[in-house]
Amino acid sequence: MYGTPAHGTPMYGTPAHGTPVYGTPAHGTPVQGTPAHGIPVHRAAAVRGGHPQHDEGGARPVPYGGRRGRTLAVDPERADEQGPFVPGPRHEDEPEAEVPAGRGGLGRTLAGVAAAAVATVLAVVVAGQVTGQEEPAAAPRAAGEAAERAVDESSASRSDDRITPTRPVPRKPVVLTYERLMTHQFSIDPELKGSGAFEAVQGFQKAPGKGRLIRYRVDVEKGIGLDPKLFADAVQKTLNDPRSWAGDGAMTFERISSGEPEFVITLASPGTTGVWCRKSGLDTTIDNVSCDSASTERVMINAFRWARGSSTFGPKAMHAYRQMLINHEVGHRLGHNHVTCRTPGALAPVMQQQTKSLNIDGVRCRPNPWVNPGS
């Protein structure tokens, strides 16, 4: 349509879909007379862009491209040589066409509207260029910030649907105290025969009481896999317990790792224990027991019994059994012989061979690790 469309904005050149609209109304009927608003279509504003201006009186509609309902105004004198008229692009550097005086106010209005549209487009372009020159990084920066916000918002929205993993509550490390270790059984071969080489447990533990001072050393056979420090602590604590040999104040025990001890308490494999006990005429291999090798400096503690205990005490009384083992063998070193229980159901004497049996001559007694259990 060349003139004024339905909404009041003039249309020049080629529309969006490539078909020039020239002299055809919105619904495809050629307009040859006076349109609805009283202005002849072929008397609109002068054509710009280098195309010839049509004579208002000689134009006549001719078919365009063989399509129905589409017409173009053609100069009747040059119809054969110029062909159909196709409006071209508008050039901004060409002079403004003069509006014919006969068209009145409407022509001037259309020209003003066109100029205003051009000025608006130029203002937008210039504003965009100026903005780009002053802050070339503004658009990328704004785009980056928008993208970051989009990611953050997307993550936030997705987090509502996700199950937040809970951190496992760290378990507190189990502290293996002396008391706990003394209740545990340890693994060892009952027929183990070690290297026979001993090593003194380093350290010094002062005698805590009064009375005759007895210094001793603790040796452990190398390679048997048992804790030397635990064994040394057990000896010192047991001998100086009020229920033990130092309970009446007659003596007190002190552990040394150098110098001259009165005896050496030795933790050794069953095989090595048997070797040292035979030096004093004792056979410990029958029941895999311990001994005081009186002809030597060593009180021998069988590592199998220390690790596994005995059926007379059971696995739940390992601490008590180990205390009995120390007190019994050191008792021999102090000059005490075997004693048996005479009262059924009573506590067995510490010098009874409790590893072997709690039933002597038909008298069954209860296990007991102490010299003076009532103290």
Q: Report the alpha-carbon distance of residue 131 to residue 133 in Å, rounded.
A: 5
- Cβ-contact 330, 372 below 8 angstroms: no
3-state SS of 204-246 is: CECCCCCCEEEEEEEEEECCCCCCHHHHHHHHHHHHCCCCCCC
Sequence-ordered list of residues with C-beta below 8 angstroms from that of 298, at least 6 positions apart, any chain: 219, 263, 264, 265, 266, 276
Query: Domains of the chain by range and CATH?
Result: 1-109 (no CATH), 178-364 (3.40.390)
Q: Is the pLDDT of residue 150 over 80?
A: no
User: Residue range 17-25: average pLDDT?
Assistant: 43
Query: What's the pLDDT band for 132 if we cut at 50, 70, 90?
Result: very low
Q: Can you give the pLDDT at residue 162?
A: 61
- Check if the beta carbon of residue 89 is closer than 8 Å to that of residue 49: yes
> Cβ distance 346 to 355 under 8 Å?
no
pLDDT digits (tens, 9 = 90+) for 289-331: 999 999 999 999 999 999 999 999 999 999 999 999 999 999 9
CA distance 43 to 34: 10
* Residue 253 confidence class, pLDDT cut points 50, 70, 90: very high
Tokens 């040292």 sit on residue: 276
DSSP state of 366: B
d(CA 259, CA 298): 15
pLDDT of res. 296: 98
Could you say which DSSP state residue 66 is in?
T
In this predicted structure, the answer to whether residue 373 has a pLDDT above a threshold of 90 is: yes
Predicted pLDDT at 175: 82
pLDDT reported for residue 148: 52
pLDDT digits (tens, 9 = 90+) for 334-346: 999 999 999 999 9
Query: What is the token pair recorded at 296?
Result: 């030597």
Helix 228-239 and helix 318-333: axis angle, to 10°?
70
Classified as helix, coil or strand, 268 is: strand
Strands 359-360 and 363-364: antiparallel
Q: Is the pLDDT of residue 35 over 80?
A: no
